[in-house]
Amino acid sequence: MGIFGDLLTLPVLGAPRLVVWLAKAVGERAEAELLDEEPVRSQLLDLQERYEIGDMTEDEYERQETALLERLNNIREWKERRGDQR
């Protein structure tokens, strides 16, 4: 259809195309944030620091560390699966 057809259909199809584009952009951004390992690594370092200065018990440290490591593994597994499909 080309640019001329796009201009003719803009009043009718412009808004739906914008909504689709925005939804895709928001989805991509959310996925990027969910699959970012850096915040989890940072939380692990903060957790270790708090444990070393005595702000938490060993049981609490192990419980939180296990949860964070599980989250990190889930991120890595998701990235692997996503990479296989692309």
Give yes or no for a contact between 40 and 72, defined as CB atoms under 8 angstroms apart.
yes
Determine whether 51 is exposed, middle or buried from the number of CB atoms within 10 Å of its CB (0-12, 13-18, 19+): middle
- Residue 78 is encoded by which pair of tokens? 């998701």
Instruction: Render pLDDT for 39-67 as a digit per residue (tens, 0 to 9).
Output: 999 999 999 999 999 999 999 999 999 99
Mean pLDDT rounded to a whole number for the chain = 90
* pTM of this structure: 0.68
pLDDT of residue 1: 61
pLDDT of residue 3: 82
Domain ranges of the chain: 1-26, 35-86
- Number of Cβ within 10 Å of residue 20's Cβ equals 10
